[in-house]
Every structure is written in C-alpha cells, then in structure tokens.
Amino acid sequence: MRYQCANNPLAKLAVVFFVIMFPYEVVALDFNNKSLICSTKKFPIKGGFHFINKIELIKYNILYDVSVKSEYIHSSRHCYKVVENEIIISEYNLSNYCGSYVTSIDVGSLIYTIPIEKGFLTANCEFYDGNLENKLKSGLNISIN
C-alpha cells in the first residue's frame, strides 16, 4: 500500500501542496478586529491586545500608581507582524515608523513574552470576544493598600 501511494500522482500532488502551503498557513492568520486578554500568576487580568487592522494593534497594560495607590489602564498603539508562529510587536506605532519589534506572542500557546535584561517576562493570553477595554476596567483594583 505504501508503494501504491508513492506512485499515485494525486497523492504526490497532495503531499507537495501540503508541504508548500503549510508554512504559509500561520502567516495568513487574520487577527484583524480580534482581542486577547492576558494574565500572570499574580494578576488574573494584567492587560491585553486589540488588533485594529492587519498591521496595527492597541496594547493595554494595567499599571499601578504608587502615589495614589490605585491601578489604571495604559494603552498604546503598535505595529505588528505575523511571522511563522509568532506575532511580533513593535516599540512604536505606524506614524513613528514602528521601531524595533521587541515583544512577541506565540500563536500556538498565546503566551506573550517581553525580553528583559535577566530573562523574560511572560503572560498567558486567550481570545476575548467582548469589549476588551470594559473588561480591563472591571478588573481594576481601585484602592490597593
């Protein structure tokens, strides 16, 4: 049976088609208008991403203001690219020429990785269908002592 499959021209064509197209499948993923919500071990909601078109996203971070002892949402716009199995995210937005691509999200695991001097910071992300900004606001600890 193995011999018959190897000599079957349609089987050969199917294998060639699969090998040629498979690497491009991830690159062709469309994140346009999708959102990811992210968490860490210490924070059930730490931030997220909203992909506003095929090259730009809004990154949300929940940060802590020590002077007023409360959390707030910081948002920034960035460029992104899907390369193989990663979404790479730039330092800046399109109007600032994107800058270096410094952080990434693994497409398979949806783990967001930030390189730092002593290693990496990571957050676990998942797709979120609702209004991401409202969800992040509901996760804020208004008064932390």
Q: pLDDT tens digits, residue range 24-83?
A: 434 446 899 999 999 999 999 999 999 999 999 999 999 999 998 899 999 999 999 999
- In this structure, the answer to whether residues 70 and 99 fall within a common structural domain is yes
What does the block give as tokens for 103? Answer: 């952080």
Whether the Cβ atoms of residue 132 and residue 50 lie closer than 8 Å to each other? yes
Strand, helix or coil for residue 62? strand
- In this structure, the answer to whether residues 46 and 14 fall within a common structural domain is no
- In this structure, the answer to whether residues 61 and 1 fall within a common structural domain is no
- In this structure, the answer to whether residues 9 and 71 fall within a common structural domain is no
Residues 6+ apart with CB under 8 A from 38: 45, 46, 47, 48, 49, 112, 123, 124, 125, 126
- In this structure, the answer to whether residues 39 and 16 fall within a common structural domain is no
Full-model pTM: 0.77
**Distance (Å, whole) CA 46 – CA 112:** 11
Is residue 87 domain-resident? yes
Is residue 143 domain-resident? no
Say how many C-beta atoms besides its own lie within 10 A of residue 47's C-beta: 24
Whether the Cβ atoms of residue 54 and residue 32 lie closer than 8 Å to each other? yes
- In this structure, the answer to whether residues 102 and 43 fall within a common structural domain is yes
What residues make up the domain containing 111?
Answer: 35-138
- In this structure, the answer to whether residues 96 and 44 fall within a common structural domain is yes
Is residue 78 domain-resident? yes
What does the pLDDT read at residue 86?
96
Is residue 81 domain-resident? yes
